[in-house]
Structure 1
Amino acid sequence: MTNSPPRHRSPRHGSPPPGSPSHDAPPHGALLLPVLLTVQFLVSLDMSVVNIALPDMGTDLGFAPESLTWVVNAYALAFGGLLMLGGRLADLMGRRRTLVVGFVVFGVASLAGGLAQSPGQLVAARAVQGAGAAALAPVALALITVHYPAGPARARALGLWGASGALGGAVGIMAGGLLTDWVGWRSVMLVNVPVVLAALAATRPGVPADHRTTGAPRLDVAGALLVTAGTSALVLGLVRTESHGWASASTLATLAAAAVLLAAFCAVEIRGARRARQPLLRLGLLAHRPVASANVFALLMSSGQFAAFYFTSLYLQQVLAYAPTRAGAAFLPFCAGVVAGTAVATRAVGRVGERALLVAGGLLGAAGFAWFAATVEAGGTFVGSILGPSLVASVGIGLCFVPLGAAATSGVAPEETGMASGLLNSSRQLGGSIGLAVLVTVAASATGPGRGVAALADGYAAAFAVASGLLVAAALATAVLHGGRRALAGAPRTRPSPN
């Protein structure tokens, strides 16, 4: 690993790579951060906002019961499969250009979904939405890393970035209930359109222009095809386990295909590391311990966090018999806790470092989920079963976003921030898919043949207990793997030696 600053090269002249800042570039404007927060909020919102609207969608458009889940799965499949490609395209083609394209694709798909007249049209629109989100999500973190200097400014931006993602997921559940009850299911798709239009209007004046190079960028086509196909197959296999089962031939074949494709991707990247000018993922990036630990932490934390959202929603509606709007409102304490935890992390990360905050946040989140496991029962109440655990878990999760974003891009050269951002977002998305698939199986096993509310509560409690264990594992992995104390203190960026 070298400690010398990275050299920015273009094929003919010495101009910087697309989207990287230059010394003579004007400072970013006040609109940059709002645009980036809108990206993170929208991406997270649309992963959860349709859940409560699913029954109305199915009734109105005539979905078969077994195909309704594809409204959710189509988004997850396209989003998870294309994240690495989206992050790398931002590095090569320019971050503002990628942001504009992502907004346009996302907005058009949202409009098409809101106007859909058949199940196929809605599922296709959700898949295209996921593709647009895969272009947007990595750009937000990359632009924060490039345009906010290490120290308090970047800590604050990362804190707001993390909080906006968590709030998007929680608000999505609440907004889905409100919009479905008051306006109708189509509104959960159409509500994105004015938000996207406003973000597009702010992108040109707010996001710094991309720097052009005289030579055409070369994408690692083989790597892009393999990682997209492999990740998509992995997500597909995982999201179908609820209906097909883990031991079915379909599930096993899909997961085996994913393993083969991802192994081939790693082999291609290793063989071509010394020759490829713009690899999709330079595996040497993972030799940097903060980057590796951040991705392991993101994978494990998301496995528990995403599933906990899912089971909390089910518990509120199926056991406590909350209406959709009331169930959404029950997530407000979680939103407040995330904001509080993020505010603490923003102020503390420069003093205590990323590793300490990630370990503390992971353990506090685990304590909150363990509290859920102990109090989720058929006769539970909001105050006794939801309020306290929500606040503890959400403060812990809020503590993690600032150090997680900092560690994932620590020591990464500016021309590879999209790569690092795509990797982190992929880890989070895959973690969520893996965790939900595993914990749904855990809950079903603990529920047994009974379908009464007491049996359901027992299954959800078992899932929360496993989620708690996943966050403990995330904290322990970070304590072992994370080599540096802090990345926001202004340490020079380094580029690990090539493979």
Structure 2
Amino acid sequence: MGIESGPRPGITLAVVAIVQFMVSLDLSVVNVGLPQIAAGLGFSTVGLTWVIHAYALTFGGLLLLGGKAADRYGRKRVLLFGLGLFGLASLIGGFAQEPGHLVAARAVQGIGAAALAPAALALLTATFPTGKARIRAFGVWSAMNAAGGALGVLMGGLLTEYAGWRWVMFVNVPMAACALAPAWRGIVAGPPPVRSGRPDVLGAVLATAGMTLLVFGLVRTEQYSWASPITVTTLAIAAALLAAFIYVERTTAREPLIRLGLFANRSVIGANAYTLLVGAAMASAFYFLSLYLQRVLGIGPALAGMEFLPFALGVVAGSVLAVKLGYRLPPRTLLVIGGLLTATGLAWFGLISPDGAFATDVLGPSIVASVGFGLCLAPVVSTATAGVAPHETGTASGLLNSSRQIGASLGLATLGSAAHHRTGQTATPEALNDGYALGLTLSAALLVAAVLIALTVLRRTSPPPQPEQSDDRDSLSAPDGRAIHPHATTRQLEDHRREDASA
């Protein structure tokens, strides 16, 4: 066995970028292909949404367990396991012959992604703890995160039209292989993890089951009213399971999935609430726009995917701009500006018309919303993971990703039901347009709510120091070894001291 050469930040960043692109891609790559998937496998209208929900729910519901596993068993080991499982599930899903086969494969993909995402983000946080390198690294991460979600629609359209819908699953196999090789050889295993107890598997099961039933109940409101016994019973059981999850986390003799004390940190709770709402809005917006382009404007999947290209480029541009502004503006300011821009773009999308066109109804709002979305990504990740103890970075990363995925599923279930109710039983282009326009307008409202959370929950901070002036701040650490974020203010440092005293 060769001698380890020490950390390789460049390889770590490259692997994390591929991983984040891949898991983000799978949230949107199937969207444009949904009509063809429904025709090929015989999905019902309601059942078709589970192609998205199966991935988002297992991804979001098991992310906390994935983050805890990364902290306990080692980030590199969990990353490799997740890559293998994700690639295998993608291969099997591409050969699906029944609706249940594809939904099951998507669920297993979500399990693999739940291992991948927090391990990758924890590796990034540990490799780039502070300063200029951290801002750049998170800028790359956010760009790949956004590009995966946006380019997923483009790739899905091209693959569906020219290679068949099965390739929206097969495409992940070479990407997983490309990440697996450098991760295996180039990422250096960290110090032996501290194993203070066995992970709380029961808590993960309760959280995932509760969220699945919650989404199931929301989706079924298209068939059963809110007051029907079926809806009330389903939502009541979901609430009971989620309450049981909280109880187990407070009382378990095992190592809890998440230390509930993390929620006393305003940065953590604020960033996660912000991400939940943004995830709900953006997943719904991608869904509605994909269907609007194909079912209302009547264009093919390849062209529909191409018309998302300005959105993808805008997100990357916004992410690059966030890196440059990150030296001059505090994260909260970027979250507010980005959220308002995204809300403006989605509200503009809400003005779509049945006889619309790309130039008049899609291009302008795509640019505004995408640049705003790109501005949000890096600051919210940096905010959610700054000041967290090193042994909890995987958990904090998993929590943030979980908020995004659960938000995506809840948003799609709720806004999809509202849009379906507005459309009614007659699926004419005009009726469909009204439903999609309502969904996009509600997505804009969710972004406004996210901005209000940033203003009221996150603390006001002063602009961060310039890179050449940040050496002293970069070296700060808490008494327990936690890295203090280079943007931390005096008040935040006092918060750290109070948390240490209370611990």
User: TM-score, with normalisation over the residues of structure 2?
Assistant: 0.87
Name the structure 2 match of 1:192. 172
What is the distance in 1 between the residues matched to 2:228 and 2:146?
A: 34
| Residue pair 1:234, 1:255 contacting (<8 A) in 2 also | yes
Moved more, 97-106 or 145-154: 145-154
Say whether residues 1:44 and 2:24 are aligned partners.
yes
Shift of 1:458: 2.3
What is the distance in 2 between the residues matched to 1:210 and 1:492?
A: 19
How do residues 86-485 of structure 1 correspond to structure 2 at under 5 angstroms? 86-212=66-192, 217-242=197-222, 246-271=226-251, 278-374=255-351, 376-448=352-424, 450-483=426-459, 485=461
What is the distance in 1 between the residues matched to 2:256 and 2:423?
A: 46
Shift of 1:242: 4.5
Report the secondary structure of 1:378's partner residue. coil
Instruction: Tell me which amino acid in the other structure corresponds to 2:347.
Output: A
Shift of 1:443: 2.0
Report the secondary structure of 1:35's partner residue. helix
Shift of 1:227: 2.5
Relative distance call for 1:25 and 1:242 in structure 2 (3 A) is: farther
What is the distance in 2 between the residues matched to 1:458 and 1:224?
A: 39
| Residue pair 2:56, 2:408 contacting (<8 A) in 1 also | no
| Residue pair 2:71, 2:193 contacting (<8 A) in 1 also | no
Instruction: Tell me which amino acid in the other structure corresponds to 2:120.
Output: A
Relative distance call for 1:83 and 1:377 in structure 2 (3 A) is: same
Relative distance call for 1:234 and 1:163 in structure 2 (3 A) is: farther
Report the secondary structure of 2:477's partner residue. coil
| Residue pair 2:9, 2:127 contacting (<8 A) in 1 also | no
Shift of 1:417: 0.7
**Would you say how many aligned residue pairs link Structure 1 and Structure 2?**
472
What is the distance in 2 between the residues matched to 1:214 and 1:149?
A: 20
Cα RMSD, aligned residues only: 2.5
Relative distance call for 1:63 and 1:235 in structure 2 (3 A) is: closer
Instruction: Tell me which amino acid in the other structure corresponds to 1:312.
Output: L
What is the distance in 2 between the residues matched to 1:87 and 1:366?
A: 31
| Residue pair 1:445, 1:459 contacting (<8 A) in 2 also | yes
Shift of 1:287: 0.9
Report the secondary structure of 1:52's partner residue. coil
What is the distance in 2 between the residues matched to 1:370 and 1:65?
A: 26
Shift of 1:239: 4.5
Name the structure 2 match of 1:15. none
| Residue pair 1:290, 1:484 contacting (<8 A) in 2 also | no
Report the secondary structure of 1:321's partner residue. coil
What is the distance in 1 between the residues matched to 2:429 and 2:254?
A: 58
Long gaps (5+) in structure 2: 465-472, 483-495
| Residue pair 1:30, 1:206 contacting (<8 A) in 2 also | no
Correspondence for 1:33 among 4, 13, 18: 13
Instruction: Tell me which amino acid in the other structure corresponds to 2:266.
Output: R
Report the secondary structure of 1:492's partner residue. coil
How do residues 478-493 of structure 1 correspond to structure 2 at under 5 angstroms? 478-483=454-459, 485=461, 490=474, 492-493=477-478
| Residue pair 2:57, 2:406 contacting (<8 A) in 1 also | no
| Residue pair 1:58, 1:64 contacting (<8 A) in 2 also | yes
| Residue pair 2:211, 2:238 contacting (<8 A) in 1 also | yes
Instruction: Tell me which amino acid in the other structure corresponds to 1:492.
Output: S
What is the distance in 2 between the residues matched to 1:163 and 1:324?
A: 24
Instruction: Tell me which amino acid in the other structure corresponds to 1:469.
Output: A
Relative distance call for 1:210 and 1:149 in structure 2 (3 A) is: closer
Relative distance call for 1:101 and 1:328 in structure 2 (3 A) is: same
Shift of 1:87: 1.2
Relative distance call for 1:302 and 1:413 in structure 2 (3 A) is: same
Relative distance call for 1:72 and 1:53 in structure 2 (3 A) is: same
Relative distance call for 1:55 and 1:311 in structure 2 (3 A) is: closer
What is the distance in 2 between the residues matched to 1:359 and 1:214?
A: 38
What is the distance in 1 between the residues matched to 2:193 and 2:385?
A: 24
Shift of 1:328: 0.4
Shift of 1:127: 1.6
What is the distance in 2 between the residues matched to 1:248 and 1:293?
A: 35
Relative distance call for 1:214 and 1:56 in structure 2 (3 A) is: closer
Shift of 1:411: 0.7
What is the distance in 2 between the residues matched to 1:444 and 1:69?
A: 12
| Residue pair 1:152, 1:346 contacting (<8 A) in 2 also | no
Long gaps (5+) in structure 1: 1-23
Q: Deviations over 1:424-455 (max 9, x none)?
A: 11111121122212222332343345533223
Q: Deviations over 1:437-487 (max 9, x none)?
A: 222233234334553322322222222222111111111111111125279
Sequence identity (%): 53
Q: Deviations over 1:283-336 (max 9, x none)?
A: 111111111110110011112111111111111112211111010001011111
Shift of 1:140: 2.1
What is the distance in 1 between the residues matched to 2:42 and 2:444?
A: 39
User: TM-score, with normalisation over the residues of structure 1?
Assistant: 0.88
Relative distance call for 1:237 and 1:87 in structure 2 (3 A) is: farther
Instruction: Tell me which amino acid in the other structure corresponds to 1:159.
Output: G
Relative distance call for 1:323 and 1:289 in structure 2 (3 A) is: same
Instruction: Tell me which amino acid in the other structure corresponds to 1:260.
Output: A
| Residue pair 1:269, 1:279 contacting (<8 A) in 2 also | yes
Shift of 1:240: 4.3
Relative distance call for 1:236 and 1:131 in structure 2 (3 A) is: farther
| Residue pair 1:138, 1:422 contacting (<8 A) in 2 also | yes
Name the structure 1 match of 2:489. none
